[in-house]
Amino acid sequence: MSGQQTIAGDDLPDGLVVADAAGAVVHLNQAAARLLGTDRDAVIGQPLSEVITLDDLSGCSWYDAMRPYDGLETRTRLVEQAWYRPDGRELLVTGGLVRERPLGAVLRVTVSMRAVRARWQLDRRHSDLVATVAHELRSPLTGVKGFTATLLAKWDRFSDQQRRLMLETVDADADRLARLITELLDTARIDAGRLALRVAPVDVVALSRRVAASITAAGGRDIRLELSAGAPEIWGDADKLSQVLTNLVENAQRHGRGTVAVSVLGEPAADGTPGVAVLVDDEGEGVPEELRERVFNRFWHTGGQDGSGLGLYIVRGLVEAHSGEVAILSSPAGGARIRIWLPVAEPETLAATSVS
């Protein structure tokens, strides 16, 4: 590490430990040395397993539990959990895995830790999560319970048309519950870094046509397609990418105005990596620049918008699982443009099926 990088690391309020591909510690900032109770100069070059000597309440070590250099090849993050020093002091520890390519070998492990005094913030986030989920589930459940109780108690008092209307409402609320539960499960997998991808060659142009046809057939507004015949196939999970595109188009139709346009074109990255860009444009008011990152947060809402607030958070998680990028820009019509870029990737890199 250069002197400039070391100083920057010492400016961090949390402890930071960095290990190389061989598992040797190459950097440890002052906060980490203090939290671990060690001399940072003495541990440089030592195995990560011998530097982070933390256990859980069952006596299992952090290194054996996390297995940062093996385990699932899809992992890029280590979930934050409480771990204990030999003297009983509790720390919150998380980390990230830098791979040479998707599903490739681990090049670098970064571990962040902080004292338990910050745990109340984590507990508060968990409480907020529970409260938000309970609120989102209560509304459709209230509708289901109300209509089913009414039908059971007063079945003979209603006409066939009235019964059908009530059952259609129950069915719609059940669909809403199922979708919310699916979104919550996806969110949990993304948070834990355990999202499973079943990769194969994907024709993004054909996938865009299928998604547009499905949304239109379900009663959505017409979608203008601008598809490049020269866009290359990519290696990815077709179901997850369909979920991404469906979410973006439905979001544009719900919150934007006018015609929604979907464009697909072959576009290399700045470093020349071949890839495909997907643009979803609407003609609404757009998204202010100061909100363009915040809309990707969990349970983000603005104004009186409905929905779970998980859609764009899941979109980013799925795109990043494909080693891609997602950003919000302005469309030519003045509305919002959501741009996704996905690398073509290599078959030997992504072809293996991952299991969560």
pLDDT tens digits along 18-46: 999 999 999 999 999 999 999 988 999 99
Report the pLDDT value the prediction gives residue 355, as an integer from 0 to 100.
36
- From CA 71, how far away is CA 68, in angstroms rounded? 7
pLDDT at 67 over 80: yes
- Residues 110-131 have a mean pLDDT of 70
What Cα–Cα distance (Å) separates residue 135 from each residue in 138, 143, 179? 5, 13, 15
pTM above 0.95, yes or no: no
- The residue extents of the domains of the chain are 3-118, 121-192, 200-350
Phi/psi-derived region of residue 109, left when phi > 0, alpha when psi is between -120 and 50, beta in every other case: beta
Report the pLDDT value the prediction gives residue 111, as an integer from 0 to 100.
96
Specify the DSSP class assigned to residue 61. B
Greater pLDDT, 299 or 33: 33
Amino acid letter, 266: G
- At 306, is the pLDDT very low, low, confident or very high (cuts 50, 70, 90)? low
Strand pairing class (15-19; 25-28): antiparallel
Task: Determine contact, residues 256/224, Cβ cutoff 8 Å.
Answer: no
DSSP string, 231-242: PPPEEE-HHHHH
Report the pLDDT value the prediction gives residue 120, as an integer from 0 to 100.
61
- From CA 319, how far away is CA 248, in angstroms rounded? 12
Token couple for 201: 């060659």
- From CA 312, how far away is CA 326, in angstroms rounded? 10
Mean pLDDT over each residue of the chain, to the nearest integer: 83
- From CA 295, how far away is CA 278, in angstroms rounded? 19
Neighbours of 117 (CB within 10 A): 9
pLDDT at 157 over 80: yes
Amino acid letter, 214: S
Contacts of residue 132, defined as CB under 8 A and 6 or more positions apart, other chains included, come to 299, 309
- From CA 113, how far away is CA 80, in angstroms rounded? 9
- At 16, is the pLDDT very low, low, confident or very high (cuts 50, 70, 90)? very high
Q: Domain 121-192 belongs to what topology?
A: Helix Hairpins (1.10.287)
CATH architecture type of domain 3-118: 2-Layer Sandwich (3.30)
Report the pLDDT value the prediction gives residue 50, as an integer from 0 to 100.
94
What are the backbone angles phi and psi of residue 245, rounded to the nearest 5°? -65, -40
**CATH value of 200-350 in 3.40.50.2000, 3.30.70.270, 3.30.565.10, 3.60.21.10:** 3.30.565.10
